Amino acid sequence: MNKSTFTIFAVILSTLMASVSFAGIDLLGSVATDGETYNIESFGSVAVISDGQYGAKVLDVANPLDPVIASSISTPGTAEGIVYLSPYLSVANGEEGFSIIDAADPYNAQLVSTTASPGYAYDITYGCGYIAIAAGTDGLHFFEAFNVENPVYANTFDTPTPITGVSGPCGTIFLTAGEYGTFFATGGVIDTLQIVGGFDTDGSARSSYAYQGYLYVADSTAGVQIIDFSDPANQTLHTTLPTAGAAMDVIVDWQYIIVAAGEAGLLIYDNLDPENPYLLDSFDTPGFAYSVNVWNGVIYVADGNSVMVFQYTPDQTFIGQCVHSPTQFNINQNYPNPFNASTNIKFSIDQPQTINLTIYNITGQVVETLANRHYDVGDYSVNWNAGDVPSGVYFAKMTSLLGTQTVKLSLLK
């Protein structure tokens, strides 16, 4: 399906959904932090933050009306970037390398290790057993993290400019480089990684989010720039969303573009028609919105000296069907569901890509990774044997550089 076809599809779908209204942003709760909260990630009933000179914190957000700081973990340096792959969270510590924290028990999170890294660790990501550190003028450092108690330096990828942000699954990495814009690298995690394209944004690129062939870049002076990277070597600017404040972070959740916009707070845009995104609603937070994350319609904002929790009301009617990811991949509801011991999860791929399919429990902990490899175009089925897992609700999350889809599974024994 090409972009013009998708536009027609979006217009038809928009007509079908004409009776659906966007209810707006509602503040659910908030909690004060000790320092300047720069980054936040969430999954299930847990959120994690980097809290500047005060290290990292694990939050219990099971009740979004009353988020609670469950654990505070002191890390050396200044906690900047953070990545959470339950039960571990990894923190970029500025001049002091990076730390790994075990948050299996949110109320008793423990520092597992701290590893020195050349340069200044601005940001961090994880994939295929490796931690990657965006280290400014020192490039991109890789560490083997199969043993979380003793990560081992593996290699350094020399970047063409200083980099301050890194994201993406293994084999596909997006780099943000401030005034130099963004870069797109593919290949092996270590020895064959290479820059295949980039885009010089109009101001200072702070973070990026890839979804369905577009790269959404939060640029602190130019707003959100949406870049078409369907041809990585010849990336083009699709459109720009002006923001009242400094665009610091961006995430795409189904049809919505959600932006942490600095002094302007939280912004939500409708992106059902990618040719014509528009502002739906905003919330002027009391602090400075640095970072944003979303889980099941709940928005978490790192707002300077606090974490704020919001709710918005996207229509869920079509989630799990083709509208959620109409052009690149689609995950179907597992069958049988509910199930006893074993179930099949089917998905389809319209474009060759690396797919990660992981099962999580209701608290956001990883139960089992069912797939993490490259797939060609086609239809696939993966079996989950849950014989050793207790009854309950689980989530199958399918992720690629083109987006994320999740289905809920009910195990009854």
Lowest-confidence segment of 19-23, 142-146, 404-408 by average pLDDT: 19-23
Between 277 and 129, name the one with better pLDDT.
277
Say what the pLDDT of residue 291 is: 97
Contacts of 361 by beta carbon, 8 Å cutoff, 6+ apart: 44, 367, 392, 393, 394, 395
Mean predicted confidence (pLDDT) in 285-314: 91
The 10s digit of each residue's pLDDT in 202-227 is: 899 999 998 888 999 999 999 999 99
Q: Which two tokens stand for residue 85?
A: 């792959």
Reported as a pLDDT band with limits 50, 70 and 90, residue 7 is: very low
Mean predicted confidence (pLDDT) in 301-329: 64
The 10s digit of each residue's pLDDT in 20-49 is: 445 578 899 999 999 999 999 998 899 999
Say what the pLDDT of residue 397 is: 86
Lowest-confidence segment of 3-17, 322-336, 357-371 by average pLDDT: 3-17
pLDDT averaged over the chain?
86
Domain ranges of the chain: 25-311, 328-411
* 258 contacts 251 by C-beta, under 8 angstroms: yes
Kindly report the number of other CB atoms within 10 A of residue 294's CB atom.
18
The 10s digit of each residue's pLDDT in 222-259 is: 999 999 988 888 999 999 999 999 999 999 987 899 99
Lowest-confidence segment of 26-35, 173-182, 269-278, 285-294 by average pLDDT: 269-278
Residue 314 has pLDDT above 90, yes or no: no
Cα dihedral 283, 165, 169, 357 sign: negative
CATH number of the domain located at residue range(s) 25-311 in this protein: 2.130.10.10
Say what the pLDDT of residue 319 is: 35
The 10s digit of each residue's pLDDT in 51-74 is: 999 999 999 999 999 999 999 999
CATH architecture of 328-411: Sandwich (2.60)
Query: How far is Cα 251 from Cα 291, in angstroms, rounded to an integer?
Result: 9
Q: How do beta strands 39-43 and 304-311 pair?
A: unpaired
Reported as a pLDDT band with limits 50, 70 and 90, residue 373 is: confident
Mean predicted confidence (pLDDT) in 304-313: 90
Query: How far is Cα 178 from Cα 399, in angstroms, rounded to an integer?
Result: 26
Nearest partner of 194 among 157, 223, 152, judged by Cα:
157
Say what the pLDDT of residue 192 is: 75
* Domain 25-311 and domain 328-411 have a common topology: no
Contacts of 216 by beta carbon, 8 Å cutoff, 6+ apart: 208, 209, 210, 224, 225, 226, 227, 250, 251, 252, 257
Select the highest-mean-pLDDT range: 89-103, 162-176, 241-255: 89-103
Say what the pLDDT of residue 289 is: 97
Residue 324 has pLDDT above 60, yes or no: no
Query: How far is Cα 356 from Cα 228, in angstroms, rounded to an integer?
Result: 23
The fraction of the chain above a pLDDT of 70, given in percent, is 88
* 22 contacts 52 by C-beta, under 8 angstroms: no
**Whole-prediction pTM value?**
0.74
Select the highest-mean-pLDDT range: 134-138, 200-204, 316-320: 134-138
